[in-house]
């Protein structure tokens, strides 16, 4: 039996959280659909997408901390990359004729990519494709521009989207916390639960012998890994624990070279650029030190490890800080503001975190499977509705043909 095709779009720009969540969703959706993923960010070295998913790589773009677009292909300018991407997206849509189009974050974010996404949405509207938006738990606060942004996003959702899927547990975060248009969305909003990879068995107390410092994707993790390196000697002398620092697959080469050189003089520190099994490492850690992106936060919660988070906050980014505060209020993590980050402060906070016992949580983390079921149900309802409209139209035409007024 031929499966319907689902076309996904994901643009990761600063880190890897959006891509990893899309991979997890794509793997779950692949049980019922042929899944093709359009992706256009930096290719993460050492990490591989699910084997059940087809990947279409667009000319890669990223954003700097101030929100400007950067071409990651030296042979193309930003404008040339945008033009090539738009063409590739349209060609892919025409070739696949997908039954479902899932777009990650847009129009709640990624407005700089609207030039390639609105034409895609126009094509999907003409083809009567089921269109859904895939959104994380917390959106970035846009300050004075917030109301204008929310009104624009609502208008785009109402025109093009059949549903909005929010990958969160509504007991923790709801869309209205960070999205407040004057009028509610016309499209239904469904909460899927948080999206996380496969669960791992819990570690025993005897396994927890090291402090694990991780910088997410690593593109903007240099302040954290430098402070951790400075803190390592004091931590080792105070509690006897070694430290592992994971720089991240997008860590700049210069930062990685410095980290390797610094670790060469510290036998108490191990450095790694990529760790495919980070959830397993968290299970075995005495404490975790990290930023507070979506995926890392969930992996911390799933592991139950005592955790200190230092939310990324450059360029007006506040999503991680908001998530960190909520988790702190739940007793799940400890928080250190990035404005206080230094080697000495981090060392003291790590020692406090070793004494911290996170409160047990009952957060819904079944988002991948529930998303797959929701999309299948939405497609079934749309197809049933289309058939009903077609039958009604045929019935009206037959009636009109027999009418003396035609």
Answer whether 125's CB lies under 8 Å from 160's CB. Answer: yes
Domain range enclosing 370: 5-195+365-394
Q: Do 349 and 369 share a domain, yes or no? A: no
Q: Is the pLDDT of residue 355 over 70?
A: yes
pLDDT band, very low/low/confident/very high, at 198 (cuts 50, 70, 90): low
Q: Is the pLDDT of residue 400 over 50?
A: no
Q: Is the pLDDT of residue 295 over 70?
A: yes
Query: What is the average per-residue pLDDT within 291-304?
Result: 94
Q: Is the pLDDT of residue 203 over 80?
A: no
Query: What is the average per-residue pLDDT within 264-276?
Result: 91
Listed in sequence order, the residues at least 6 apart from 406 whose beta carbon sits closer than 8 Å to its beta carbon are 400
Query: What is the average per-residue pLDDT within 104-116?
Result: 95
Instruction: Name the residue with higher pLDDT: 322 or 144.
Output: 322
Query: What is the average per-residue pLDDT within 224-231?
Result: 96
- Mean pLDDT comparison of 108-117, 379-388, 391-400, highest-scoring range: 108-117
Q: Do 279 and 298 share a domain, yes or no? A: yes
Mean pLDDT of the chain: 90
Q: Which residue bears the tokens 């916390």?
A: 177
Report the domain count for the chain. Answer: 2
- Nearest CA-CA partner of 173 in 84, 298, 74, 274: 298
Domain with 214 in it: what CATH number?
A: 3.40.50.2000
286: in domain: yes
pLDDT band, very low/low/confident/very high, at 406 (cuts 50, 70, 90): very low
- pLDDT for the residue 46: 78
Query: What is the average per-residue pLDDT within 382-401?
Result: 56
Angle at 254 between CA 251 and CA 255, to 5 degrees: 50
Task: Please report, rounded to a whole number, the percentage of residues in the chain having pLDDT higher than 90.
Answer: 76
pLDDT band, very low/low/confident/very high, at 403 (cuts 50, 70, 90): very low
Q: Do 241 and 262 share a domain, yes or no? A: yes
406: in domain: no
Q: Out of 181-195, 197-211, 339-353, which region has the weakest mean confidence (pLDDT)?
A: 197-211
Radius of gyration of the CA atoms of the chain, in A: 23
403: in domain: no
Q: Do 371 and 265 share a domain, yes or no? A: no
Answer whether 196's CB lies under 8 Å from 298's CB. Answer: yes
Q: Do 342 and 383 share a domain, yes or no? A: no
359: in domain: no
327: in domain: yes
């Amino acid at each position: 039996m031929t499966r319907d095709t689902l076309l996904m779009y994901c643009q990761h720009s600063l880190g890897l959280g959006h891509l990893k969540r899309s991979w997890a969703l794509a793997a779950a959706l692949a049980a019922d659909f042929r899944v093709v993923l359009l992706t256009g960010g930096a290719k993460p070295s050492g990490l591989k997408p699910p084997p059940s998913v087809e990947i279409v790589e667009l000319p890669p773009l990223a954003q700097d901390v101030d929100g400007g677009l950067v071409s990651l292909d030296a042979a193309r300018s930003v404008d040339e990359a945008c033009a090539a991407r738009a063409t590739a997206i349209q060609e892919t849509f025409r070739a696949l004729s997908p039954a479902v189009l899932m777009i990650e974050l847009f129009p709640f974010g990624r407005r700089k990519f609207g030039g390639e996404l609105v034409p895609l949405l126009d094509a999907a509207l003409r083809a009567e494709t089921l269109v859904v938006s895939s959104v994380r738990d917390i959106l970035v606060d846009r300050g004075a521009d917030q109301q204008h942004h929310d009104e624009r996003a609502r208008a785009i959702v109402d025109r093009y989207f059949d549903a909005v899927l929010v990958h969160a547990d509504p007991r923790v975060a709801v869309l209205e916390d960070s999205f407040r248009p004057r009028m509610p969305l016309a499209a239904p909003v469904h909460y899927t639960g948080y999206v996380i990879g496969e669960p791992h068995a819990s570690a025993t107390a005897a396994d927890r012998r090291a402090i694990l410092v991780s910088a997410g994707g690593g593109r903007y993790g240099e302040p954290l890994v430098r402070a951790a390196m400075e803190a390592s000697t004091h931590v080792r002398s105070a509690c006897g624990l070694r430290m592992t620092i994971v720089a991240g697959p997008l860590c700049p080469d210069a930062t990685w070279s410095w980290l390797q050189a610094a670790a060469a003089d510290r036998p108490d520190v191990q450095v790694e650029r990529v760790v495919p099994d980070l959830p397993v490492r968290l299970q075995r850690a005495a404490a975790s030190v990290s930023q507070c992106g979506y995926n890392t936060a969930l992996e911390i919660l799933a592991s139950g490890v005592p955790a200190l988070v230092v939310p990324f906050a450059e360029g007006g980014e506040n999503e991680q800080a908001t998530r960190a505060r909520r988790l702190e209020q739940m007793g799940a993590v400890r928080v250190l503001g990035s404005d206080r980050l230094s080697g000495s402060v981090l060392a003291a906070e790590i020692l406090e975190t070793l004494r911290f016992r996170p409160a047990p949580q009952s957060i819904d983390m079944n988002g991948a499977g529930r998303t797959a079921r929701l999309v299948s149900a939405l497609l079934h309802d749309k197809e049933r509705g289309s058939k009903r409209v077609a039958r009604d139209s045929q019935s009206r035409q037959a009636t009109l043909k027999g009418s003396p007024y035609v």
